[in-house]
Structure 1
Amino acid sequence: MSNQTNFSLNCPLPITKYPHILMAHGGGGKLMKQLIDNMLLPVFSNGNFVEHDSAILNLTSNKIAFTTDSYVVNPLFFPGGNIGSMAVYGTVNDLAMAGAKPLYLSLSFILEEGLSFATFWEVIKSIKQASEISQVKIVTGDTKVVEKGKGDGIFINTSGVGIIEHNLTINPQQIQEEDVIILSGDIGRHGIAIMALREELEFETTIESDCAPLNHLVLQLINSGINIHCLRDITRGGLASILNEIAIDSDSEMIIQEKFIPVQEEVKGACEILGFDPLYIANEGRFIAFIPKNEAEKALSIFKQENPLATIIGKVEKKEKGRVILENKLGSKRIIEMLTGEQLPRIC
């Protein structure tokens, strides 16, 4: 599936004579109403979005998934995305990891006094485009303004609702011995894209974030009849931390083959310069799937239609101990642990 779409919005600026966000734009008066009426309602009008305290939704399933997340990335714009697209995709992906079909999102902004309307408009356009690519609707939202120096430009909170139209139960407790672990693509690009921009590192090619929606690929797996046991997107803490979380939650010992984990050469080089381990670098468009051994090749072929770098990286060895063992290219093994902190702050 291509993430490209024909998209055009004409900027409505200036909504007043003010080029920047003022405290009054969050004060409930005329300026706040102008901001909502002139910048948000025209963009997200879809039959469900109304200027009211709550959205009324019609759901076709009794089984739904619900999630919420907040986004505080710095800088706001980075190669491959920005805080707006990341907010949409991040919430869509969380729903997809439960096996849900994402339908509706809420959208709440915390804006810093002094933010330019031009910057805000670029974020709005990106949110609109990302929601169309993900095939979800923005149905309700909120806007607040904080004093200059207290908001880092924009913070975004999104909540999402999706429906579950199958009989699978997808969570760590469903993992079984001999389950195969499939990784959907190369790792580390999002975190390194952010850090390269912050530190003004230059490489032969620009490292772009992998920021992307995952719901379409998950839906293909489900519709193909794959008996998915567990899904998890690889965000903060990276692949190593996510595997550890699942191993602990499922009381499983996992063996991971380092030679099968794809990492771009530019990402490897940046990690060596900065002293980072790619296994712990955040991603925004990658996930792992735990699939029964007899269905692994069928599932992998579906993964590869989306990303040729998708690969089987290991398996569940046995149901005990809750740990992750990494086998390196020389055949030696070591236990990989969760980090006590985070390598890269403010990246999602």
Structure 2
Amino acid sequence: MSMPEQPDYTRVLLAHGSGGRLSHELVEHLFLKHFDSPILLRLEDSAVIGQSTAFSLAFTTDSYVVSPIFFPGGDIGKLAVCGTVNDLAMSGATPRYLSAGFILEEGLPLADLERVVASMAATAREADVQIVTGDTKVVDRGKADALFINTAGVGWVPDGLRLGSEFVRPGDVVVLSGTLGDHGMTIMTQREGLRFEAPLASDCAPLNGLVARMLRAASEAQVVGAIHAMRDPTRGGLATTLNEVAGKAGVGVEVNESAIPVRDAVRAACELLGLDPLYVANEGKLVAFVAPAAADAVLAAMRQHEYGR
């Protein structure tokens, strides 16, 4: 019997972009070997830079490649704005300004490009951020999947607010803002041409308003440093995010899987494709690690917001 062919780990594989083990090995063993900034070494969703008497600067960047570029619940433009806004918000920042870089494939209909740009503008207005600089490049037909978008963003972190995996403590309550797997399974079923009785739609949404409400509730609960960390469980899903935080904090995370909300259509699609919803990407959800004394207040505030129910 012939042995199965082994992956060539000397070259980049699609799995290196999945958010799983190979992604982390690529970052830790290649990029961090050469990029050794202590700010980068925190490996949070955004970098928090400097400190003044009033605020610190949060800075993040991300690139977006998705097929199809239009999908139920969103498109690549909405995804780009939400993803960058959310990465800033997870540091406790108020997002303010974004850049937008476009790599366009020759032959892309201008009507499709305008639809994407209009969607980005509408999402930026919802999130109360401005797109203030950008760039475009065009590549030969067949060299890109319609278009790719890179965004960077900056925001302000109030003085005295510090969130991060290193602040997570034993006994913290893990709070999830909603159902899992909506975005990832929407994209996968669109690619595979699958249809379900209950249609799937991406959860793509800007979460900065939800985060602001949570931080306000934590402050009103008068628990110092009530929210220790927040992450948006995108690539690799909730399970990968919990593993990352637990590893950095040196703690274990106990998960009651039966209490995690998953829509019936998402669960059915996962079973059909042999996937675990805990490892499927989300684009409009967050997970927070909260001091027990403030957990009820934070959860109540989340449930009052449209993206936290």
TM-score interval, smaller chain: 0.7 to 0.9
- The structure whose Rg is larger is 1
Residue 66 of structure 2, aligned match among 73, 76, 95: 73
Deviations 1:177-218 (A, max 9, x none): 110000000000101100111111111121000000110011
Residue 162 of structure 1, aligned match among 155, 159, 168: 155
> Is residue 2:253 matched to residue 1:254?
yes
> Is residue 2:297 matched to residue 1:304?
no
Aligned position for 2:75: 82
* Separation of aligned partners in 2, 1:216 and 1:308: 9
Letter in 1 for 2:239: A
Aligned position for 2:107: 114
* Separation of aligned partners in 2, 1:203 and 1:309: 25
- SS of the residue 1:90 aligns to: helix
* Separation of aligned partners in 1, 2:87 and 2:168: 19
Residue 121 of structure 2, aligned match among 108, 114, 128: 128
Aligned position for 2:235: 236
Deviations 1:30-55 (A, max 9, x none): xxxxxxxxxxxxxxxxxxxxxxxxxx
User: What's the CA shift for 1:167?
Assistant: 1.4
Cα 1:308–1:69, aligned 2, differ >3 Å: closer, same or farther? closer
* Separation of aligned partners in 2, 1:61 and 1:177: 31
* Separation of aligned partners in 2, 1:272 and 1:75: 22
**How many pairs align?**
252
Residue 184 of structure 2, aligned match among 186, 191, 196: 191
1:60–1:163 Cα contact (<8 Å) kept: no
1:262–1:309 Cα contact (<8 Å) kept: no
* Runs of 4 or more above 4 Å deviation: 59-62, 307-310
TM-score w.r.t. the length of structure 1 is 0.70
Residue 217 of structure 1, aligned match among 210, 213, 225: 210
* Separation of aligned partners in 1, 2:105 and 2:142: 7
* Separation of aligned partners in 1, 2:84 and 2:274: 30
* Separation of aligned partners in 1, 2:247 and 2:285: 21
Gaps of 5+ in 1: 1-58, 311-348
* Separation of aligned partners in 1, 2:164 and 2:137: 35
User: What's the CA shift for 1:309?
Assistant: 7.1
> Is residue 2:152 matched to residue 1:146?
no
Letter in 2 for 1:200: G
User: What's the CA shift for 1:223?
Assistant: 2.1
Deviations 1:160-182 (A, max 9, x none): 00001241210011111110000
Aligned position for 1:245: 244
Equivalent residue runs for 1:170-181 within 5 Å: 170-181=163-174
Write 1 or 2 for the structure with the bigger share of helix.
Answer: 2
Identity of aligned residues (%): 50
> Is residue 2:130 matched to residue 1:137?
yes
Aligned position for 1:17: none
> Is residue 2:282 matched to residue 1:289?
no
- SS of the residue 2:234 aligns to: coil
* Separation of aligned partners in 1, 2:307 and 2:230: 19
